[in-house]
Amino acid sequence: MGLSAAMHKVFLFMSSTSVSSVLPGILEATPDMLSKEILEAGFPRFRAQQVREWIFANRTCSLERMSNVPAALKKKLQETYSWALPQVVHALHSEDGTTKLLLRGHDGRVFETVIMRYPKRTTICVSSEIGCKLACSFCQTGKLGFFRHLTAHEIVAQFQIAQTFLPDRKITHVVFMGMGEPFLNYDAVLRATNLFISPEAYGLSARRVTVSTSGIADRIIDFSRDSTARLAISLHAAREEVRTSLMPINRKYPLAELKNALLHYQKVTEQKITIEYILIQGVNMTQADAKALVQFLQGLRAKVNLIPFNAHPGLGYERAEESEILAFQQYLTSRSIPAPVRYSRGLDVSGGCGQLAAKTEGQVDAVPLRKNVVV
């Protein structure tokens, strides 16, 4: 699928200057920070409101497009913040309407963002790190190893860039389910999350922003205090030995510790928790696995998203048969546990759950974009 003429009008020009190691990124500035900087520079309050509207309401961080902002203020903002965005290297378009973006950060390393279009909503799946430290055995990202954390600016930039691919709709949901473990990059993820849900910033409903963690128990407790966004847990097994074989992080945060953190989270927030459970044939789908999952969920208000394993090269796992998936689901629902089956989107562009591996040109069919774009 090629880019439309309307899309080309959106991608005009973006400064190729790399993100400064000194200046903070504009997209990690809170509305209060922006107002304070502008007022202290001697500009009237309404100028601060104009800049905030451009960034948060119009979802742009191009000074050139801020037509009602005076040149003197633009110069001040240019000197105060870095406005450079990650470069869009490729857009991969799935037959189901999903778009996967390959982005290049200021250091040349690449990461991915996925846009999922539904009839009544538009969800973006954002990355929080380049690579991942956790080495989950079923996940392509874990095979990459870890390179670095993304800044809050780079996280929010994924939202801004994705919006330019949606000329006729706005992003309604954000999920932190891309590359990396969000709670190992806690401060940047928290800042980005709170910008997404702040009424003075992007104004998304807190129930439409979800952070998924593999079970960093101490950060789950922090998150109950620090954010009203929703929480999802990548569980994938409720028996210690099975979960440890799939997710080595279970050695540091075993199931009992994770359960206690979730009980604390639920007591503080009174929010339902989403449990993500990838179904892998012959690994975590026995009756013993199902019973252990039911036992783990006792005392929690939760739903379980059952995710059929998405096959990818180099991993010795198989996708379960449909009859096996439905049998596992039936066991849970018969015990009053909501357990919808979530079939991943964007599989033909490796955009499904566990498939994000920052593929470069030649590894997948790609639609090349201009290297420098404006948002």
Q: Give one DSSP letter per residue of 159-184, joined into a string.
A: HHHHHTT-TT----EEEE-SSS-GGG
Q: Is the dihedral of CA 236, 345, 228, 36 positive or negative?
A: positive
16 CB neighbour count, 10 Å cutoff: 9
Residues 6 or more apart in contact with residue 351 via CB below 8 angstroms: 92, 94, 98, 100, 112, 114, 344, 345
How many Å apart are CA 59 and CA 170, to the nearest integer?
10
* H-helix segments, 62-177: 71-80, 140-144, 152-163
The answer to whether 64 is a known catalytic residue is no
> Regarding beta strands 146-149 and 129-131, do their DSSP bridges make them parallel or antiparallel, or are they unpaired?
antiparallel
The answer to whether 112 is a known catalytic residue is yes
Q: Assign 258 to helix, strand or coil.
A: helix
Region of 152 (left: φ > 0; alpha: ψ -120 to 50; beta: rest) is: alpha
How many Å apart are CA 287 and CA 196, to the nearest integer?
40
The encoded tokens of residue 244 equal: 């440890």
Q: Is the dihedral of CA 156, 229, 139, 137 positive or negative?
A: positive
Q: How many residues does the chain have?
A: 375
Helices (H) and strands (E) in the chain, counts: 12, 12
Q: Out of 61, 132, 136, 353, which one is annotated catalytic? A: 353
The encoded tokens of residue 161 equal: 């860039």
Measure Cα distances from 258 to 95, 98, 253, 289, 346 in Å. Answer: 38, 33, 6, 17, 31
Q: Out of 112, 129, 181, 276, which one is annotated catalytic? A: 112
Instruction: Report which DSSP code applies to 63.
Output: G
Distance, CA of 64 to chain centre: 28
How many Å apart are CA 370 and CA 294, to the nearest integer?
50
| Structure-derived torsion over alpha carbons of residues 357, 358, 364, 366, reported in degrees to the nearest 10 | 150
Site of tokens 């000074």: 63
The residues that are catalytic are 112, 353
